[in-house]
Amino acid sequence: MLRLLTGSDDFLLADGTVGLSVSFAACEPRFEPGVTPQQTTTPEWLTFSEAADEAGISRLYGGIHFNKGDRFGRDLGRLVGASVHDRVQYYLTGAIPEPDAFSLTLAALTTLAVRPRV
C-alpha cells in the first residue's frame, strides 16, 4: 500500500532522509525486562519491502507463524493493499477500476470453498 501511494518502495522521509531505523536499549522493559536485548539494537530498513520481510521473519523466529503462513500473509497483504488502493482511487477520481487481483483471487477461493467435494 505504501509503495502504491508513494510511487516507490523506498522509505523516503519528508526531510529527504532515506531509510528508517529505531533503537532499542539493552534490557529495555518493553520486551523481557532485564533480559533482552542484551545490547542496544538498531534495526533499519531502506525499503517498505525490507520492513515487511523483517516483520514476517520476526514472527517465524518468535514461533507465532510458520513459513508458509508468513509467505501467504505477506502475499495476501499485497493483494489487499492493491485492492484498497484501487478503491481509494475510485473514490478520488470516480473512475471504475478493472477487477483487481485481490477480488479475482477472493472470488476464485470462494468458488473453491463452496464447491461440493466429490
13-68 pLDDT per residue, tens: 888 888 889 888 888 777 677 777 888 989 999 999 899 888 888 888 878 878 88
Q: Are 72 and 41 part of one and the same domain?
A: no
The confidence score (pLDDT) of residue 50 equals 92
Question: What's this model's pTM, rounded to 2 decimal places?
Answer: 0.64
Dihedral (CA of 17, 57, 105, 88) sign: negative
Q: Name the band, by pLDDT with cuts 50, 70 and 90, for residue 10.
A: very high
Q: Are 39 and 76 part of one and the same domain?
A: no
Number of domains in the chain: 2
Q: Are 42 and 73 part of one and the same domain?
A: no
Q: Is residue 53 part of a domain?
A: no
Rounded Cα gap, residues 60 and 54, in angstroms? 10
Q: Is residue 52 part of a domain?
A: no
Q: Is residue 55 part of a domain?
A: no
The range of the structural domain enclosing residue 86 comes to 66-118
